[in-house]
Each structure stands twice: as C-alpha cells, then as structure tokens.
Amino acid sequence: MRIDTLAGNTVKITLEPSDMDGCNIKYEDISGRSHETELALSRLISSVCEKHGLKLSGERLLVEAFPKCDGGCTLYVSCLK
C-alpha cells in the first residue's frame, strides 16, 4: 500500500491485490451499496489516517476508485468541507 497526500484534503491510496485481499475489498464492490465494503473502506481510511497523522476521520468524504491492471486499485479520498 502506498499513501500520497495530494492536497490538504485529498489522499491517494494505491492498493496492491494483496492489500485488497487483506482488507476484504473487491474493486467490483466499491461502487455498490455493500455494507461490508463500506465498513472495510472505513476501517482502511481510519487506519491510514491514524498511521499518517491525517485528519479525514469524522468528516464527509468523497471516495473515488480506479482499477489497476494488476488487480489492485487506486483510491482518492477527499474531505468535503
């Protein structure tokens, strides 16, 4: 997993297939209304915030997901203020 801060309110999270397996996240489920996927993304974002000192938790977030050709995905997480 790679974390890049792009702006004060946007973080890029690059997940490898093994990261997605470890978080129980499937790209196909991200755009759906799966409660399990929502919880998994929430745990992932909270963990990233805690480890990197980011302040995204507790805010309204916009999550954009893009598949990678290797089976991973790239997430852009932005805080909506």
Asked if residues 5 and 11 have their Cβ atoms less than 8 Å apart, the reply is: yes
Q: CA-CA distance, 4 to 25, in Å (whole number)?
A: 20
Q: Domain ranges for the chain, please list them.
A: 2-80
Tell me what percent of the residues of the chain surpass a pLDDT of 70.
94
pLDDT at position 64, please? 92
Q: What is the pLDDT of residues 5-34, one digit of tens each?
A: 887 778 899 999 999 998 888 888 887 777
Task: Tell me the backbone φ, ψ of residue 26, rounded to 5 degrees.
Answer: -115, 135
pLDDT at position 15, please? 94
Inform me whether the pLDDT recorded for 70 exceeds 70: yes
Distance set, CA 24 to CA 1, 20, 21, 28, 49 (Å): 14, 6, 5, 12, 19
Q: CA-CA distance, 21 to 34, in Å (whole number)?
A: 16
pLDDT at position 47, please? 85
Average pLDDT score over residue span 29-56: 81
